[in-house]
Structures are given as structure tokens and as C-alpha cells.
Structure 1
């Protein structure tokens, strides 16, 4: 029997592929063929996804010869294996130990006034302009770009580089050359940016800036565990995780809320429920699919089957988040549901380190947008929206709205 191709097509743009439902009801593992031509196992059940991602015998090392690259020739983009998502312990622990304190709930909450101001400024500009507008360009991308620039200490004027390179690297339709050029441009920029910040901090009497890169430089003076390249790689990981991903969830979440006015009414009536609503929106949208590309470092049992040592595995958190044995009626957007254990940020040691910041941005974006623009509505039917089919990060290219 021919192995199914991955990714699988969606019958409805706001739902994961229907095939996931069939797969969850069948064997715990399914052999698939990736666009790169490589084969891998696909895991779709919530319990198996969660357990596999937490297994210490699972690797994210992209230099492993059996790594299940999603794209053809993706291995040509791998220069150094130094990012939060591609390192295994103990090297992974060294980097995360330096950056996790930057994204605790307490520290992120200190950013609330900053994020609120950024969201307010962009909505004000939006309201002062013509309509309809593209919400992706007017709000989703600029808000997340400015927030991550502020967090890293990077100039906001460089946001277009972040936007264009992130888009090229996440878009399946980009050519290998376009992806190589985008990857090189972003890595080069971040390398120069970190080098400049290090040089500033080494001036007599200088105090490292009050931003993430400045604090990493200060910590590294004491411990000397990171090179400049390591700090740049951390910035690359955080930029990738903190810009395009959150922008996509703001856009898709807005569509969901406008298409589910009874749920929108819940958070309009009681904004304190918005954090719980964000968890449900994250569960429902699950934009990172495939979300977990892994290699087994030993034989691992998955249900009544076994992933053999060296096998490549694709772990679908989107499928897991729609597992009806855990989330009843998963197709229903339900703010009464307890969705705190959704897997949109992953699970295990590679769970998104900036998840608290993403939650804060989403909460403020949704609360503020619908409070200040109560008449917001789509300017085109959902079925006519240009969805990012085949992209590593699902979303919409444009979101026309009016009020």
C-alpha cells in the first residue's frame, strides 16, 4: 500500500486535515512520505504525542543523517547546529538556562504596558486610515515585530528584514535560493548585531543595555558559556518563535472570533476570561504543523508499535490538539473548555521558551482590538481568504477587514 504524502490536505481551511481523525482511530504510527522524499513515522494521538516529545531518547539534531527534513534539500541550509530547536542535552540546557529567566511569567508581565502601547499605537493608525484594511499588515505583523525588536534590543527600523526573511524561510513556495538568501541575510544581520552590542558593552564604563541581548552579554561575562555565535543563534530562535508564529495566531484567531460571535461575546462581556480563551484559540488554530521533527536515538514504544533507533518521526501537535478523547467536540470553539494542556507550544524540553510572551501579546491584541473596534468584520468570505497552504506556519497571507 502506498504511503500517504505529508502534509495532508485540508477540506476546511480552519480545521486540520480530516485524515488525522482517521489516523487517530487506527494504528498509533503511520508511515508517511515528506516533500523532501524522505520517509518518517507520523504520530497523531494526544497521549502518544505528549509522551514522545518528553522522551529523552528523542533528538532534534538536524545534523543527524536520518533527520526527517520537511523540505527538499533543506540540509543545505544547515550551517551550524546551534539553535534552541536543534540542540540536544547537555548543550540545549546550557542555552536554555541563560534565556529562560527572560521569559518567566513575572518578567513577561512587566512588558504588559509596552505591549499595550504598541498594540494601541497600531490600532490608532489603523482607525485613522482608509478601510477596508489588511489586518495582517496593519496589526498582526507590525505588533509582533515591534515587540520582539524591543525584547531583543534590535532597532524597529530593521523590521522589514525580519518580516521578509521569516516569510521566505517559512513559505513552502520559496525556492531553495530564496531560502538560502533569506537564511544568510538574517544570520548575518544577527551576527553583526550581537557583535556590535558586545563591542559596546566592552567599552570602559559601559553598562550592557536593558534588553535581552544586553542581559545575556552581562551574564556571559560572569559565566563565559556562550560565544557571540551562540547568542546570535538564540536571537534567531527567539525571532523565529516570537514574530511570524504569533502574528499568524492573531490573524487566525480574529477569523475564529468573528465567525463565532457567541464566543466573542464572552470575552467582550468579561475580559478576565481572555487568557483562557487564548488557550482555546491556540488549541483550535495549532499553526505549527508539522510541529515536531525528531529522530529516535533508541527503540521507543508508541502504543503497541515501536519506533526503531534512527527512525525519523513527525509529531503532529495539530492532530493531538483535535483529539476528541481529550478535547470533546474539538471542532467547536468553546471558551468554557479547559484548554490549558493544549500542545500548540510543544512539550518537553523543546517547548517554546517564549510562550508566556506569546500569550501576553495574544491576550492584549484580542482584548484591545475588539474593544476599540466593536464593529470589526471580515471584508471577504472565509472561503475566499488566501490561506498559507503548505507553509511551515499556517495562517493567512492577507486578512481584509472593515468596520
Structure 2
């Protein structure tokens, strides 16, 4: 659950370090909190994946207007954030609390009804909840949720040495997912009124020429996979961390007011979205006395930043009383994760309900033997065996 020790060395000795990336492009690793935050907020730092200096770390390039909105710059990026961000607005998200609570309770009912133990908390809790919630927001039909859950799991298996034909399954699942979202998109585009969910809003934007059909499809896949994988991994890893800190877990259960701060500490401590944040310099940029040349890639290592002892005392210690609201787990600047209110709400409901309803929950294996996703750019667990 900890970042590589080399990050600490880099922060001390080479906080802005030029490297060669896997695709052969030059890039700059940025490891200190202040520098990472500064660069993520700098308008000269671009997320435009069509820039020849932007490293996709092996992923294929797409045409500019067909790219997922995550890999574009304002004003085009701003169009998407305005269109989709309203679905993650605090008031709208908190109006979903009763429905999400009902889903979590139902999921835990099914968990408790299982006769065989241990139970895999990833399969039976962490994965289905966020995918179901995202399907509500996007407008995915309820009868298709089982397909989506399976396709998402296969899609994210790429690189997993424990899954037979993982890369082939991942490629096939991505094709299925793209075809599925394309089918839903075309159905919405054929409607006079495409609806008020996220697919409906994107369909309206396609109809008026604001975005392309391909951008709608690619962004739909991105929203489903990104929101599903991140919250699922935070649920599993967060549960594992809390079970390994029983005194702090007991405090959190006894004092519900500590739960929000505990979730922020989990987000900081784990920083699961790792090696995905990529940028490119639009002009020469000086940071911490080092000039990053125009056209070269920048890798702001938010996991390193969130463990920077110049910003957080004893950063490698998990402490729910820290409550670090300024962490960079959701990024920073114009590309900061717009789904963070929903992620926080889901984690709050899941942790409160799980530990209240199963007070004897415990790991069914040694923490050291848990199956970590050491192959993935988003940190997580492939399984979490628990019992009670």
C-alpha cells in the first residue's frame, strides 16, 4: 500500500527528474507536494493527448475531437465539465443518499446470506455498488448491469499475471464495452428527447454539434470504468486498512464525526489513482529551479506528493485524526476529479453500514498475502477474503 521507496529519494535529491518513458518519449517525474500542486494548476501544463509530446504510456492515440474529455484542454474540456459536472453537484449527489443506502443494505443482506466463508468482499461488495450507482447516472438499463459488471472486471484485468489470457480478455471486453455504449448512444440519438441523465446530455450535445458521437462513446466508457474502478478499489483497500488498525476503527465507530476525516486520510494514504496523471508542457516552464522544455511530458506523482514529509508530518503513518482535506488523491486544478462528491458519499455509506452491520468483520488471511494489483496503474486488490 506504500509508494516505492525511490520516491522518497527523488523528493530529497531530484524532485524534478528527467526520464525516458516506456514509449520512448522524454518525461519529467515531479515528486514534491508543492511542485505537483503548482504544476497541476498551471495553465501552461496541458492534458491534450494529441500533442506529440504527451505520453499515453502505450495506449493508442485518437483524433482530437474523439478523445475522452479527460485528455483534452479548455475550452473543449470545460464544455464536458459543465455538461456532466451537474450530475456530481453536491446537492444532487446527496439526494441520492437514500437510494445508495438501500443498495448497500441489499448488498450486505446478500453478503450475510452466503453460507460459505470466507467471502470475497471485492466481488460481493466493492465491485457491484459503484458500477450500479454509475449506471443510474449514465442511464444504463438495470437489466444490463450484470453485463457491465463482468465487462468492467475483464477490461481492468490487463497485465494481471493471475488471470489466464488477461490481455486478450481485456481487449475483448473493451471492444464489447465500446459496442455497448455505442448502442446506447445511438438509441439516445434517435430520440426526440434523449433524457436528463449523462448519456442524454451528451446526446443533446452531439445533436447540436458541440461534441462528436465518438467523443460521446469514449467519454461514456471512461466515466463507467474510471468511476467504477476507483471507488471499488478504495472500498476494498480502505476496508483492509481499517481492519489492520482496529483501535482507530473502534474510534471511528464510536464517534461517527470522525468518519469523514478518516475517509480523507484513506484517500491520502492510498492515493490509488497512480501513474495515470500525465501532462505536457505547452511552453518552457520553470519549477523548483528546473526548466521543463516545451513539448515534453510531465508525470506529477500525486502518490509521492501525498506522502511528502515536508507537507504531512509522519506521512507514512495512517492516522484518522489527520483529516487532510488538501490531499491530491483527486488531482488539482481544472482537471480535478468531478466525481469526488459521489465517491465520498459512497465510501461514507459503505463504511458506516459495513462495520455497523458486521461488527465482527475481520480479514480471513494475513494482510501480507492479500492479492494486490501490482500490475495496474490504479492501485487495488483483486480479492479481499473476509469472515466474521
Q: What is residue 338 of structure 1 aligned with on the other side?
A: 323
The CA deviation at 1:90 is: 1.5
Moved more, 174-183 or 290-299: 174-183
Which residue does 1:8 correspond to in 2?
A: none
User: Contact (CA 8 Å) 2:65, 2:211: kept in 1 or not?
Assistant: no
Q: Among residues 169, 180, 187, which one is paired with 1:189 in the alignment? A: 180
SS of aligned partner of 2:127: helix
| Corresponding residue to 1:198 among 189, 200, 216 | 189
SS in structure 2 at match of 1:75? coil
- Residue range with higher mean Cα deviation, 77-86 or 18-27: 77-86
Cα distance in 2, alignment partners of residues 322 and 171 from structure 1: 28
Partner of 2:313: 328
Matched, 1:44 2:35: no
Provide, for residues 246-268 of structure 1, a one-character-per-residue CA deviation record: whole Å limited to 9, x for no partner: 00000000010000112111220
Q: Which residue of 2 aligns with 1:28?
A: 15
TM-score of the two chains, using structure 1 as the length reference: 0.88
2:303 aligned with 1:303: no
Q: TM-score, normalised by structure 2?
A: 0.92
Q: How many residues align?
A: 382
Inter-CA distance 39–158: structure 2 relative to 1 (3 Å threshold): farther
The superposition leaves residues 125-149 of structure 1 with CA deviations (integer Å, 9 ceiling, x where unpaired) of 0001022100000000011111111
Secondary structure of 2:280 counterpart: strand
Residues 170 and 45 (structure 1 numbering): CA distance in 2 closer, same or farther, change over 3 Å? farther
CA distance in 1: counterparts of 2:79 and 2:136, whole angstroms: 24
Describe how 1:81-92 pairs up with structure 2 within 5 A. Answer: 81-92=66-77
- 1:379 partnered with 2:364: yes
C-alpha distance in 2 between matches for 1:122 and 1:79: 41
CA RMSD of aligned residues (A): 2.2
Give the 3-state SS of the residue equivalent to 1:268 in structure 2.
helix
The reply on whether 1:149 has 2:149 as its aligned counterpart is no
* SS of structure 2 residue aligned to 1:88: coil
Match of 1:159 in 2: 145
Could you say if the C-alpha distance between residues 168 and 23 of structure 1 is closer, same or farther in structure 2, counting changes exceeding 3 Å?
Answer: farther
1:401 corresponds in structure 2 to: 386
In structure 1, distance between residues paired with 2:142 and 2:63: 27
Task: Specify which of 344, 347, 352 is matched with residue 337 of structure 2.
Answer: 352
After the TM superposition, which residues 181-330 of structure 1 pair with which residues of structure 2 at under 5 Å, given as runs?
Answer: 181-199=172-190, 201-202=191-192, 208-217=194-203, 225-330=210-315
Alpha-carbon shift at residue 101 of structure 1 (Å): 1.3
Shift of 1:383: 0.9
SS in 1 for 2:316: coil
Instruction: Give the deviation of 1:287 after TM superposition.
Output: 0.7
Q: Deviations over 1:215-244 (max 9, x none)?
A: 5546777x6534443333332232122101
Gaps of 5+ in 1: 1-13
Q: Choose from 43, 60, 66 the match for 1:75.
A: 60
**Aligned residue for 1:62?**
49
User: What is the Cα deviation at residue 382 of structure 1?
Assistant: 1.0
Evaluate the alpha carbon distance shift between residue 208 and residue 38 of structure 1 in structure 2; reply closer, same or farther with a 3 A threshold.
closer
Q: CA deviation at 1:49?
A: 0.5
Distance 1:127 1:78, change over 3 A: farther
**Would you say the 8 A contact 2:258–2:321 is kept in 1?**
no
Q: How far apart, CA to CA, are the structure 2 residues paired with 1:228 and 1:172?
A: 27
Shift of 1:331: 1.4
Does 2:112 match 1:121? no
Task: Give 2:163's aligned residue.
Answer: none
Using the alignment, how far apart are the partners of 2:362 and 2:344 within structure 1? 23
Shift of 1:39: 3.6
Give how far 1:161 is off. 4.1
Residues 1:17 and 2:8 aligned together: no
Q: Is the 8 A contact 1:245 1:287 kept in 2?
A: yes
Provide the C-alpha distance between the structure 2 equivalents of 1:77 and 1:90, rounded to a whole number of angstroms.
19
Partner SS state of residue 60, structure 2:
helix
Whole-Å Cα distance in 2 between the matches of residues 325 and 264 of structure 1?
27
SS at match of 2:28: strand
CA apart distance, 1:182: 3.1
For residues 294-317 of structure 1, the C-alpha deviation after alignment (integer angstroms, 9 at most, x for no partner) is 111111112011110011111111
Which moved further from structure 2: 180-189 or 54-63? 180-189
